[in-house]
Amino acid sequence: MVDFISEVEEELRKDDYNKFLRKYGPLIIGLLIGVVLLVAWMEWRDYSNERSARAAGFSYLAADDLLQEGNTQQASQAFLKLADVAPDGYAGLSLMRAAIIAAESGNEAEAIRLYDAAAARFDEDRHVQLASLKAAYVVANRGDWSDVDQRAGQLAAQGAPYEFLARELIATAALNQGDLERARAEFSYLDTIPGVPDTVARRAEQALILMNTASQSGEEPTLPAPEDTNDETP
């Protein structure tokens, strides 16, 4: 009798198991296939990204070689071509190199456009801000002080990677637009707060001296655009 009851219970368990498989088996199989496909796709993506980055690196070095050899126009074209196909990091860097070439050749409008395009292609915030700062320097060199104020204002938050350089641009723009109070406040900040690079602090001190001298003589002080002395690259 005991054996009979055990056999019945075993058959019932098998029946429940078969019902479970009929109901959920296709879903389980589908999930397993999905996991396998996802892992395969991730491995293919990593391989593809690595291959693209390696190819972009070789193309970037080739473009740089053209520039070092004095083939400026060809180098610019090579950087721009690379920016169209490279991963975002290399694309942003290539656009910045093309922007430098454009600025040095006197095409400031193109340089600004390329720096803005580079900022849009970077992932890391520091690199985005660097490209934006470079654009702001070119804008300052053109004397578009209101645009400088707007661009640099986005980079001057306390603790931002290029806060002090951005504040110097803001102060210079304010001075050249006749906003002496704001210019004095910004230059004083740069002249006194710890951590400001020596060159920036020294220029701020000189600007304050110029403002005081001009005020005593009744003249309206102006300053040329600060030079882009930040050679950092991503």
pLDDT in tens, 63-74: 989 989 999 999
- The answer to whether residue 193 is domain-embedded is yes
Q: Count of domains in the chain?
A: 1
- The answer to whether residue 72 is domain-embedded is no
pLDDT in tens, 173-228: 999 999 999 999 999 999 999 999 999 999 999 999 999 998 888 888 888 888 88
- The answer to whether residue 168 is domain-embedded is yes
- The answer to whether residue 96 is domain-embedded is no
- The answer to whether residue 208 is domain-embedded is yes
110 is written with which tokens?
Answer: 């193109």
Q: How confident is the model at residue 6 (pLDDT cuts 50, 70, 90)?
A: low
Q: What is the DSSP string of the chain?
A: -HHHHHHHHHHHHHHHHHHHHHHHHHHHHHHHHHHHHHHHHHHHHHHHHHHHHHHHHHHHHHHHHHHHTT-HHHHHHHHHHHHHHS-HHHHHHHHHHHHHHHHHTT-HHHHHHHHHHHHHH--SHHHHHHHHHHHHHHHHHHT-HHHHHHHHHTT-STT-TTHHHHHHHHHHHHHHTT-HHHHHHHHHHHHHSTT--HHHHHHHHHHHHHHHHHHHHT-----PPPP-------
- The answer to whether residue 51 is domain-embedded is no
Q: Is the pTM of this model over 0.85?
A: no
- The answer to whether residue 101 is domain-embedded is no
Instruction: Quote the domain boundaries for residue 188.
Output: 145-234
Chain-wide mean pLDDT for the chain?
A: 84
- The answer to whether residue 124 is domain-embedded is no
pLDDT in tens, 137-164: 999 999 999 999 999 999 999 999 999 9
